[in-house]
Structure 1
Amino acid sequence: MTNTPPPAGGPRRPSDRLLQIAVALFGIGILAVVAIFVTPIVSDSSPGLWLYGLAMLAPVGFLLGLVFALWSGRRAR
């Protein structure tokens, strides 16, 4: 018997969901940071407080990505 990988369309592990959440949170946070810098250029107003709140999702997503990397990289015994 040969060791063949499972099919690509197979069931996802729960840790794959963690990576998707981490990437989504990080992406939303980075877009909010970009919007914070673009808002004063486009308009004469300052960015809203909600943009600063969304910008705090970038480090949360980064930390979740680190947790995913450490969790999925551990060796099975």
Structure 2
Amino acid sequence: MTNSPEPATPGSRKSGERLLHVALVLFGIGLVGVIAIFVTPIVSDGKPGLWLYGLAMLAPVGFLLALIFALRSGRRTR
């Protein structure tokens, strides 16, 4: 008898990849929001809108989801 690990089920692999894609999209949108906050006063005389601050808050959410993905995917199966 060998102790070879069983292959991962296709459903669990897809859900993990989906989590990574969602995390990357949210992080990217958040970074665009942060950049827009700094560019808005340079380009115009107005202050950045509240919605830009809301977009910027997606960056830490995306980072947290990516961290969760990394911790879940690095765990060994028993």
Structure with the higher fraction of residues in helix conformation: 2
Q: Aligned partners of 2:74, 2:17: CA distance in 1, in Å?
A: 12
Q: Deviations over 1:8-53 (max 9, x none)?
A: xx88521100000000000000000000000000000000000000
Alignment of 1:34-45 (within 5 A): 34-45=35-46
Root mean square deviation of aligned Cα: 1.4
1:13 equivalent in structure 2: 14
Q: Aligned partners of 2:67, 2:14: CA distance in 1, in Å?
A: 17
2:50 equivalent in structure 1: 49
| SS in structure 2 of the partner of residue 13 of structure 1 | helix
* Structure 2: gaps spanning 5 or more residues: 1-9
1:5 equivalent in structure 2: none
* Percent of matched pairs sharing the same residue: 71
Structure 1 segments, 4+ long, off by >3 Å, are none
TM-score normalised to the size of structure 1?
Answer: 0.84
* Structure 1: gaps spanning 5 or more residues: 1-9
